[in-house]
Amino acid sequence: MANGNVTTGKAEDLLAEAARWRDEGHKVALATVVTTWGSSPRPVGSQLIVDDTLRLQGSVSGGCIEGAVVHEAQAIMEGAPPKLLEFGVSDEQAWDVGLACGGTVKVFVENVE
Partner 1 sequence: MKREILDRLQKARAAKQPTALVTDLTDGRQLLQADGDNLGELSLDAGQQAAVTAAITADRSGPLPEHPNLFVHVYNPPLRLLVVGAVHISQALVPMAQVAGYEVIIIDPRKAWANAERFPSVQLIDDWPDDAMTALAPDHRSAVVVLTHDPKLDDPALGVVLRSPAFYVGALGSRKTHAKRIERLREQGLGDDEISRIHAPIGLAIGAKSPAEIAISIMAQITQVLHGVPPLVKAGQPEAAPREMVG
Residue 75 CB, shortest distance to partner 1, in Å, is: 14
Which is closer to partner 1, CB of 19 or CB of 89? 19
Residues that bind partner 1 (CB under 8 A): 1-6, 8-9, 11-12, 15-16, 18-19, 22, 30, 32, 34-35, 44-45, 81-82, 84, 108, 110-113
Which is closer to partner 1, CB of 11 or CB of 96? 11
Residue pair 31/107 in contact (Cβ under 8 Å)? The answer is yes
Adjacent-strand bridge partners of 24: none
Which is closer to partner 1, CB of 70 or CB of 100? 70
Please give the C-alpha separations between residue 46 and each of 32, 41, 60, 69, in angstroms, as whole numbers.
6, 10, 6, 13
89 half-sphere exposure, CB direction, 13 A CA radius: 8
Count CB-CB contacts under 10 A for residue 48: 24
Residue 12 CB, shortest distance to partner 1, in Å, is: 5
Which is closer to partner 1, CB of 64 or CB of 80? 80
Query: 32: closest CA among 111, 106, 91?
Result: 106
Residue 82 CB, shortest distance to partner 1, in Å, is: 4
Residue 9 CB, shortest distance to partner 1, in Å, is: 6
